[in-house]
Amino acid sequence: MSYLLAVTCAVPAAGAILTAALPAGTNEARRRTTKAIALGVSVVTLALTALIAADFKPGGARYQLTESHSWIRSFGINFSLGVDGIAAVLVLLTSVLVPLVMLASWHDADPAPSPDGTFDGDTFEGRRRTQGFFALILAVEAMVIVSFLATDVFLFYVFFEAMLIPMYFLIGGFGDRAGGPEASRQRSYAAVKFLLYNLLGGLVMLAAVIGLYVIAQGQGQGTFDLQTLTSAVADGKLVINPTAERALFLGFFFAFAVKAPLWPLHTWLPNAMGEATAGTAVLITAVVDKVGTFAMLRFCLGLFPDASKFFAPAILVLSVIGIIYGALLAVGQKDIKRLVAYASISHFGFIILGIFAMTSQGQSGATLYMVNHGISTALLMLIAGFLISRRGSRLIADFGGVQKVAPVLAGTFLIGGLATLSLPGLAPFVSEFLVLVGTFSRYPALGVIATLGIVLAALYVLVLYQRTMTGPVKESVSKMPDLKARELLVAAPLIALTVVLGVYPKPLTDLVNPAVADTLSQVHRTDPAPAHPVAIPAGGEQQ
């Protein structure tokens, strides 16, 4: 039995505990040591996930490097882990982004001056800020990785819910210090809204998890093991009444749609991303939210194939509404971070559209979109965070002419924006193209409507760049410094990945496609036949 997956999950978890236990203090050397240890743990995690990707064999079994350890024996609950191609690329995405988020957030938890001239580091809570901030980031990483690798339904549920705790404290306890006098109250509101929405989704899912176990146990399949359950459903050994199957599907899907987020369950996201630090906002939309769309592929389609096909048309309509709605609201935003949040809602609409179009192109594109959206959004949001920290404001109107005083910052911001609008040659274009092709082949009307999101994306990205980076230099930005070495170290890998995956996505598609084919076979779907097949003359070759 390989223990690589368990070790990969354990390293960031142990790192979170170690970081939180480090001695507190306002001394800069202590803070620097804390940050270095947390960053080192995240780099080790990255190395381990690279080993997972290297060891994974696309032509082999769907779940590889599997391991199972007994947990709650009386209920058949195990600490079971396994990686397929979809999980492999998402775990790799997570481990790439976390050290970059740490570098970008290097000073976000440092003591800040308060109105009375003292520092928040003068209190016990202030002395613990650095340890707490970086420990919470590592805790999120550990829980997300377990969620991607879990092959036990109950184990997945536990960590799906547990990741809410560190995210709640990251949102509510650490803001970007650019929100004005109401910032603390707004952060608390955003954190509570995030927690309540996701807890509600989790409670509904828990009822569905219990219902699935009761039904399976009644037919001699009393287990939470995902592979056993999906095989039993596919082989007819586990037969679920259509009404019950649809109810269970909705219980799972509701939780995942809140996490994703899918319109109209999205309203917590703009608040959370707007009030959090830029690094935390990246964790929300580029890492944590991906668990929701990933789970739709792994659990909804695998466990409830008939219900998935029954509800697919309605979900596709909601996805298209989300694409247009998110893009339209992004166009009208005055806050940079909220604009990126609404753009992400639109992008998640594309991901869910590709999943439930149930074509090989659509689901491959959706999986690539999860990765490429994470990279492009991280680039745009982290550069926006650097911009906001220099000006002390998130309002678009407070900027102007930045490219004349900070050309490198403006250039990286432009690349992030062009990736967000899916410019050909950059990574998100391939994903969006595959999603639209896959959707159009089965639902042409929805595919046509969804393309409007591309037009609107060009509008909100280019208008954002024009208003912040071009035009006369405003007095408030006239002395703005350009990107520093640490900030360039954050941007460079993201730009490189955006370009490389835009021109050569094959390494990812080779990992993803076998899992996509298996998922489609579980729901008994094949790609639609061409509307106008090419005739092959008798005894001749295709022309």
User: How large is the average pLDDT for residues 94-116?
Assistant: 81
Contact criterion met (CB below 8 Å) for 371 and 90 = yes
Contact criterion met (CB below 8 Å) for 263 and 321 = yes
User: How large is the average pLDDT for residues 453-466?
Assistant: 90
- C-alpha to C-alpha distance for 311 and 154, rounded to whole angstroms: 24
Give the SS3 label for residue 301: helix
- C-alpha to C-alpha distance for 375 and 416, rounded to whole angstroms: 9
User: Among residues of the chain, what percentage have pLDDT more than 90?
Assistant: 52
Q: Please report the pLDDT score of residue 122 as a whole number.
A: 42
Q: Which of 52-66, 84-98, 118-132 has the lowest mean pLDDT?
A: 118-132
- 71 has pLDDT over 90: no
Q: Please report the pLDDT score of residue 223 as a whole number.
A: 83
- pLDDT tens readout for residues 348-365: 999 999 999 989 899 999
Q: Which of 69-83, 112-126, 280-294 has the lowest mean pLDDT?
A: 112-126
Contact criterion met (CB below 8 Å) for 101 and 39 = no
**DSSP string across 191-257:** HHHHHHHHHHHHHHHHHHHHHHHHHHHHTT----BHHHHHHHHHHTSS---HHHHHHHHHHHHHHHH
User: How large is the average pLDDT for residues 395-406?
Assistant: 89
Residue with tokens 């094949």: 526
Contact criterion met (CB below 8 Å) for 153 and 209 = yes
User: How large is the average pLDDT for residues 447-452?
Assistant: 91
Give the SS3 label for residue 147: helix
Query: Angle formed by the axes of helices 183-218 and 164-173, to 10°?
Result: 170
Residue with tokens 């590592």: 138
Q: Please report the pLDDT score of residue 432 as a whole number.
A: 92
In degrees rounded to 5, what are phi and psi of residue 235?
-85, -5
| Nearest in space to 39 (alpha carbons), one of 89, 112, 95, 90 | 95
Question: Which two three-digit tokens encode residue 387?
Answer: 């911009």
- pLDDT tens readout for residues 131-160: 889 999 999 999 999 999 999 999 999 999
Q: Please report the pLDDT score of residue 16 as a whole number.
A: 93
Q: Please report the pLDDT score of residue 115 as a whole number.
A: 46
- 528 has pLDDT over 80: no
- pLDDT tens readout for residues 193-248: 999 999 999 999 999 999 998 888 887 777 888 888 888 888 888 888 899 999 99
Q: Please report the pLDDT score of residue 121 as a whole number.
A: 45
Q: Residue 100 carries which side chain, given as an amino acid letter? A: L
Q: Please report the pLDDT score of residue 186 as a whole number.
A: 80
pLDDT band at 112 (very low <50, low <70, confident <90, very high): low
Give the SS3 label for residue 72: strand
- The overall average pLDDT reported for the chain is 87
Q: Please report the pLDDT score of residue 73 as a whole number.
A: 80
